[in-house]
Amino acid sequence: MVEILAYAFGIMYTPGPANLLSLNAGLNGQIRSTLHFSLGVAFAMLLLFLLFGYTGAWLISSNYQILISCMGSIYIIYLAHKVAWNQQQPMTAEQSIQSEITNKHLNFNSGLIAQLLNPKSFIAILPIATVQFPEAQISGYAILVWSLLLSGLAFGAPTTYLFMGARLGKLIRNPRYFCFLNRCMALLLLYVALDILYSHVFLKWL
């Protein structure tokens, strides 16, 4: 049981597209709207845990995994572009409130889509659902309970990065620094996308 939680924590809380996007949103003061994004991430993980927990890995062949990796990489590159060019200065309290109302980029749907297309989700879920669940004799109703628990853990990952970014954002008010940090976040997202393309697409085609 402890091994399942340790593995899930280790894989979910390392930097990934959802966590980096949440960090950037925290820097820009988009707290409440981005919590919906975290809920979307958690719901995607819940769906995947339930799907693979009850069916195993036979639904997703290697060819489908390559397709998902391609689509996920393209979506992450799109989000990196949004991060690099949309918010380039710290916001006042009034602007932050307005951003909470009008922000359409990091919402429940984008969190759901980003996580469903994130190959890291499958790296986290498949070993747990197909190896660790059977070893721990987790089946039937227990799969639902564990899926809810692990999806709650998944909600905590981008939320933690969100509040880390919010804390850092309060310490940095110079627009040039914000522009620099946003570009750094975008470059990290681009690196993640290219790494996915190389590790999960290019190497599997060789």
* Segments making up each domain of the chain, as ranges: 2-9+19-205
What is the tens place of the pLDDT at every residue in 142-170? 999 999 999 999 999 999 999 988 888 77
Look at residue 141 and tell me whether its pLDDT is greater than 50: yes
Higher pLDDT, 10 or 153: 153
d(CA 119, CA 124): 9
Share of the chain above pLDDT 90, in %: 20
Higher pLDDT, 15 or 87: 15
d(CA 191, CA 17): 10
Average pLDDT, the chain: 78
pLDDT at 198: 84
d(CA 123, CA 59): 15
pLDDT at 91: 46
Look at residue 45 and tell me whether its pLDDT is greater than 90: yes
Query: CA triplet 161, 97, 81: central angle to 5 degrees?
Result: 55
Length of the chain: 206
- List Cβ<8 Å contacts ≥24 apart for 97-100: 99/28, 99/29, 99/30, 99/33, 100/30, 100/31, 100/32, 100/33
What band does 206 get if pLDDT is binned at 50, 70 and 90? low
CA 67 to chain centre: 18
Contact status, residue 80 vs residue 17, Cβ threshold 8 Å: no
What is the tens place of the pLDDT at every residue in 70-114? 877 787 787 778 777 754 444 444 444 334 433 456 889 989 988
Contact status, residue 121 vs residue 115, Cβ threshold 8 Å: yes
d(CA 78, CA 171): 28
3 state SS of 15: coil
pLDDT at 50: 92
Q: Which of 128, 118, 148, 163 is nearest to 52 (CA)?
A: 128
pTM: 0.72
